[in-house]
Structure 1
Amino acid sequence: MSILCTRPSAIKMSPIVHALQQNDAFDSVVCVTGQHREMLDQVLRLFNIKPDHDLNIMQANQDLTSVTTRVLEGMKTVLQSVKPDWILVQGDTTSTFAASLAAFYQKIPVGHVEAGLRTQDIYAPFPEEANRSMTSCIAAMHFAPTESAKQNLLAENIKSQHIAVTGNTVIDALLWARDKVNQETNWSSVFGSEIQNLINQKQKIILITGHRRENFGDGFERVCTAFQTLAKNHPEWHFVYPVHLNPNVQKPVKAILSQLPNFHLIDPLEYAPFVYLMDKAKLIITDSGGVQEEVPSLGKPVLVTREVTERPEGVDAGVAILVGTDAEKIIRETESLMQDEKRYAKMAHISNPYGDGHAASKIIDALLRFKS
């Protein structure tokens, strides 16, 4: 049974669901928790996945405790009905941990996709660092995306025979989606004709995302102030920002950036048009973990607006730069990549350390070996 929770989780689990459905050795069942209802449903439609079970846990203004208890109660009923041999969970959402705990209570083994990511700071990111660490305590099989993630697991006394290094399934999903979205040449109905015209005219675009809780408040204001300076100093560049709906993001972004003529604030995007924008942008600035992993496969440098990252491989390989929320550093590193063509080209041509697009098949192979 595959558990899909949020939009990023569904994106990363979709290649595994497809691989399981195509393999006669498995009877594939899909359960969604609905932690991010609307955004989750968008991904299910894109990847043509029809859930067998839907916990539909979303309620207005629910907190982490409510999410945890509702997933535990919902999974209890589903697991008692289906009695799966395994459940597969992904990443570090609250639903991931709660579903793993529900399976543990029924002595059903858990396979953890994207296992072993660590910052070593339980509150950064919050609550993800704790969620993934506790899931590792429960899991019987750990699918680590990188060798570094495997080493983190070994350091926690997890046996090597229970770990498989597979690469990250987000690369599988990205390459599949890129081929699909580039069959459509006009996305103006999604993000407007102004941005589509910029793309058609091959204007220089910086794509921005931001949503991390740990950056709320002063951190977001510093980041937005840096963007304001960059936009004013470089009117020949265009900045496209799909703004997260959280008021902690909306308020500073609109207050600081909405009046700039080369800054384009748009509504959050479904995955397909977002992949299209990533593919057409010159540079990405983000605090998203998934985007950090995806961008190198598109040949783009990425600046990460976080103080620490559980994905150090991109920084170590030279495809990502950790800039935090330091306005001066954001400006300095962005302008360097705007102006230094050799540095830009060097970063853009480094192979993606997070995978080769075949992670799902490696996970299936590892499951079959573990079963035997």
Structure 2
Amino acid sequence: MAVRRKVMAIFGSRPEGIKMAPVVQELRRHPDWFETLVVSTGQHREQLDQVFEAFGLRADHDLAIMQPRQTLTDIMVRALSGLDALLTAERPDLVLVHGDTSTTAAGALAAFYHKIPVGHVEAGLRTFDKYNPYPEEINRRMAGIIADIQFAPTPRAREHLISERVDPGTIFVTGQTGVDAALTVLRQPHEFSVPALREIDFDRHRVVVMTAHRRENLGEPMRNMFRAIRDLVERFPDVLLVYAVHLNPAVRELAWPILGGHPRILLLDPLPYPDMIHLAARSYMAMTDSGGIQEETPSLGVPHVLMRETTERPEALEAGVILLSGTSYEGVYSAGERLLTDGELHRRMARAQNPFGDGQASRRIAEYLGWRFGFLPEMPAPFDPRA
């Protein structure tokens, strides 16, 4: 008979928390198979706490590494140090990390130092430009080199790993767990918790939901983005922009001088995840530099302007669910203008099929681990976006 295994899920940022929460919930539906521990590095303190609340989770261990204006080196050093002591004490059978944050790289490296197997959720995303996104491209490559199990979200991500000579037998295509999270929240009855959102007249306004926080966009690229977006709001009197401003002071110091003070621009603190999903679902379009929101908006029927120079999710471009604008004033303004004036383009993008997932990725991960550890006789079927 198979022996119950200890699985440690390590994450520290809001995006990781959102995408790992349904995995943790699914693992905990099998208490005879897994003892599931949640470890938070606290890389994003306030924003991660929102995620725990939204999904009814708590951290079994919290390293609380966050400090004001922390550097990448600060995060890595404190995370490695805290995880070293924790892995010595807990000795899990498997460490799960997600995606491409500094916590991801530190979690994988710490487990490697302890010779503990690593499963990498959302493995195989690549831009092949080590500084874009920065530092995420190197973080996920590092985790990919270390990982013993590669949970690739799409067939394209699997191909990337195989091209890097990863053993195909260690790769399993799951779909995107972020889609699981978004669909779960969307199915729940919801009233906005943030008063400003309750006051929006969605019938009167075309609402544009926005996020912008990427490290490589700080400075002139972000200034260009903000100027273009303000001018779009000025040009289209029925547009209302809602921007959940990242807590990074470098972002806030740019956002308020350019976007503040306009009657149809709402600058809000980061929104609770259920508020963000239900806001996006009721919006006309999204304008972001986010990675994960590219995966959510197709399931919500919301066209998306991606304000980045590259994307590690080319499936979104091929499926026609995003416009890649770059970060120049002209590129951002032009892409936003197209969606605000071309009704046929908007309808086509809103109706496109989501290439990233079907809401079953977390179940596939739990069942795959159940098979690997001997609790199930057969491996589950992988995600197929053509199905």
TM-score range with shorter-chain normalisation? over 0.9
Which residue number corresponds to residue 319 of structure 2?
Answer: 317
Identity rate, percent: 44
Say whether residues 1:70 and 2:72 are aligned partners: no
Which residue number corresponds to residue 267 of structure 1?
Answer: 269
Return the alpha-carbon distance in structure 2 between the equivalents of residues 60 and 205 of structure 1: 33
Say whether residues 1:190 and 2:194 are aligned partners: yes
Return the alpha-carbon distance in structure 2 between the equivalents of residues 334 and 73 of structure 1: 44
Aligned-pair CA distance for 1:295? 0.6
Deviation per CA, 1:226-285: give whole Å up to 9, x if none: 112211111111111112222322233222222322222222212121112111111000
Alignment of 1:15-164 (within 5 A): 15-23=22-30, 24-164=32-172
SS in structure 1 of the partner of residue 358 of structure 2: coil
Return the alpha-carbon distance in structure 1 between the equivalents of residues 106 and 247 of structure 2: 25
SS in structure 2 of the partner of residue 289 of structure 1: coil
Closer, same or farther in 2 for the Cα pair 1:326/1:200, shift >3 Å?
closer
Closer, same or farther in 2 for the Cα pair 1:331/1:61, shift >3 Å?
closer
Return the alpha-carbon distance in structure 2 between the equivalents of residues 8 and 244 of structure 1: 12
Aligned-pair CA distance for 1:86? 0.4
Which residue number corresponds to residue 236 of structure 1?
Answer: 238
TM-score normalized by the length of structure 1 = 0.95
Return the alpha-carbon distance in structure 2 between the equivalents of residues 71 and 257 of structure 1: 35
SS in structure 1 of the partner of residue 199 of structure 2: helix
Which residue number corresponds to residue 284 of structure 1?
Answer: 286
Unaligned runs of 5+ in 1: none
Give the number of equivalent residue pairs: 366
One-letter amino acid of the counterpart of residue 55, structure 1: L
One-letter amino acid of the counterpart of residue 85, structure 2: T
SS in structure 1 of the partner of residue 200 of structure 2: helix
Return the alpha-carbon distance in structure 2 between the equivalents of residues 245 and 252 of structure 1: 12
Which residue number corresponds to residue 167 of structure 1?
Answer: 175
Which residue number corresponds to residue 12 of structure 2?
Answer: 5
Deviation per CA, 1:201-248: give whole Å up to 9, x if none: 452111111001111111011111111221111111111111222232
Deviation per CA, 1:165-186: give whole Å up to 9, x if none: 1001001111111223xx233x
Closer, same or farther in 2 for the Cα pair 1:2/1:175, shift >3 Å?
same
SS in structure 2 of the partner of residue 198 of structure 1: coil
TM-score normalized by the length of structure 2 = 0.91
SS in structure 2 of the partner of residue 29 of structure 1: strand
Contact 1:191 1:266 in 2 (8 A): no
One-letter amino acid of the counterpart of residue 11, structure 2: L
From 222, 225, 228, give the equivalent of 1:226.
228
One-letter amino acid of the counterpart of residue 44, structure 1: F
Contact 1:231 1:260 in 2 (8 A): no
Contact 2:190 2:278 in 1 (8 A): no
